Amino acid sequence: MIRCDALVVGGGPGGSTCARRLRLAGWDVVVADRARFPRDKVCAGWITPGVFPLLDLDPAEYRATGLTMQEITAFRTSVIGASPVDTMYDHVASYAIRRCEFDDFLLRRAQVRVLENTAITTFRRAGDRWIVNDTIDTGVVVGAGGHFCPVARHLRGGTDTSDPVVAKEAEFRLDGRASGTAGSTPELFFCRDLEGYGWCVRKGDYLNVGIGRRTSADFNDHVRDFMAFLERTSTLSPASDLKWRGHAYLASGAGARPLVADGMLLVGDAAGLAYAESGEGIGPAIESGRLAADTLIALKGRSRAADLQPYAKALARRHPRARRTPAPLKPVFAAVGRLLLGSRAFTRHIMLNRWFLRASSLLLAASVLAPAAALAQQSAAAPDKSVATRLQRFEDKEEIQNLLLDYGRYLDNRDFAGYSSLFAKDGEWVGGFGSVTGPANIKTFMEKNMGTQPNTAKNYHLLSNFVITVNGDTATAWSRWAFVVPGERGATIAQAGRYDDQLVRENGRWKFKKRVASNDTAGPAARGK
Ligand SMILES: Cc1cc2nc3c(=O)[nH]c(=O)nc-3n(C[C@H](O)[C@H](O)[C@H](O)COP(=O)(O)OP(=O)(O)OC[C@H]3O[C@@H](n4cnc5c(N)ncnc54)[C@H](O)[C@@H]3O)c2cc1C
């Protein structure tokens, strides 16, 4: 029987990061992987700069090993068939690595016992320890086995309730093939329905080509069309004879699977943490591996499910559940999206900087360190003044401000489904019409009182003077509203008042717990604000 403090199932980036950090804190760690390293992983191998600080690794240190590391200073993006947009940076905006090299490097660097060729299949609880495969006796099991992780399967029991992203890629030495893709400039090709995208990422002599989609419907047709497109545009020639490798992963936010149990926790793809917008999963795997280790270290030997909740909560905050677009709206969103992807400003600031490059590495690192640090300081009475806490509060305020504005937008559009979704499950609305509790009741109540006809009068709310105070997972807000009615002689403010709000973070999103709408003007219409 092998005995250890922690067994990490899976030696990918999430597992090796967690293992290394635990080992540095003096833990006796074993990593078990069903593969023999170096092993490859179906992946484009694109990493954001924030990944290196999370690994405590300088890019120069990695480059010095002689392993492939392509610096990326631009992106070429397009909707398939439309003109491309080139976005240039005056610094290295990203890197591309080869997973067969990168993962092996990280695992060796962890300097822990590695059981290769060892597929983990069974878990048995014995007191406060786990007996794994009847051969490993461990205090803690970290599930880092990717999408098909056996620990995740053990925790969730049944099947996933969210649909995974399906993806295929081929990575090969260019030898004899012609490629128009420059190493410094990966190319992204968005499907016309915006349900996925294809890519060409050059890494020195190698090219990685692939496509991923949020739905498996007609997936092989999309792959075939994409290949034909690459050949037709001379992006890659020939392209139709590539040897594809497929894989799946969840990218719908934390909570799709249970994240913790007594002596067990999930990291990376096992927890379903890849970002919905970009599909980036290496960064989240490393970040969560690090956070898992820091949580365990701070707990000083405690590892009951209740002890591990701060880890689950931190992941839920960092990876809120992705909003799904209602099916009838998808064509509308796709049409708007296609237009936006032709805009240089949108492409740079929103699509690339915000969704693909995910703000700054500092923000990423700071938010990782916060929960573990908070855990360690749990007994300390002094308020946490760390950068991470202040950043979190700043982000919370921004999200709450958007919530207050969405309220007005939905109301003015008479979209009471959207309007009611802004309330917590026990959220309450109080105003001139009376009071009502719960999103479903609020929807019916507003439809009855305001009507469901389109707002042909084009009246609207002006919302201002926000005062928002955040306190952990609850907040209060105060703001002013004015109701504007356009007329032949210009617009007039027909009514005005204020909102007093109590807010709560529910499943990672801010919602109204209670909204009290007061009217400072008299009059019969001064009601449903
Ligand atoms: C086509 C494609 C392209 C992608 N491109 C990118 C990209 O460019 N950039 C990016 O950031 N992300 C990308 N991703 C996502 C990224 O690959 C994953 O999010 C990332 O690898 C997750 O890391 P991980 O450590 O959680 O798991 P993995 O890297 O999947 O590692 C899991 C390990 O667990 C082992 N294992 C599995 N089952 C068992 C078992 N029963 N017993 C023991 N060991 C087991 C596996 O052998 C493997 O070594 C892509 C994904 C796909 C499918």
* Low-confidence winner among 45-54, 187-196, 335-344 (lowest mean pLDDT): 335-344
Q: Does domain 2-69+97-162+250-332+359-374 have CATH number 3.50.50.60?
A: yes
The answer to whether the 2-69+97-162+250-332+359-374 and 386-519 domains have the same CATH topology is no
Ligand 1 pocket mutation pick from 282, 290, 355, 361 by most atoms within 8 angstroms of CB: 282
Q: What gap in Å lies between CA 455 and CA 475, rounded to an integer?
A: 32
- Dist. CA 93–CA 403, nearest whole Å: 31
What is the CATH code of the structural domain delimited by 386-519?
Answer: 3.10.450.50
Q: Which stretches of 331-438 are assigned E, i.e. beta strand?
A: 423-431, 434-437
List, for residues 243-284, the tens digit of each pLDDT value: 899 998 888 788 888 999 999 999 999 999 999 889 999 999
Ligand 1: atom nearest CA of 145 is: 34
Residue 149 CA, closest ligand 1 atom number: 38
Beta bridge partners, 249, equal: 165
Pocket test for ligand 1, best of 41, 51, 166 (most atoms within 8 A of CB): 41
pTM of the prediction? 0.72
Identify the band that residue 480 occupies on the pLDDT scale cut at 50, 70 and 90.
very high
Give the residue carrying structure tokens 């509790």. 437
Where are the domains positioned within the chain? 2-69+97-162+250-332+359-374, 386-519
CA 212 to ligand 1: nearest atom: 1
CA dihedral 402, 405, 411, 416 (to 10 degrees): 10
Say what the pLDDT of residue 426 is: 95
Distances (CA, A) of 249 to 149, 266, 268, 269, 473: 11, 14, 10, 6, 29
Q: Judge whether 368 and 290 are in contact, CB under 8 Å.
A: yes
Task: Tell how far the Cα of 199 is from the centroid of ligand 1, in angstroms.
Answer: 18
Which residues are near ligand 1 (CB < 6 Å)?
Answer: 9-15, 32-35, 39, 41-47, 119-120, 144-146, 148-150, 167, 169, 210, 212, 247, 249, 268-270, 274, 279-283, 285
With cut-offs at 50, 70 and 90, classify the pLDDT of residue 342.
Answer: confident
Is residue 362 scored above 60 in pLDDT?
no
Output the CA 12–ligand 1 centroid distance in Å.
6
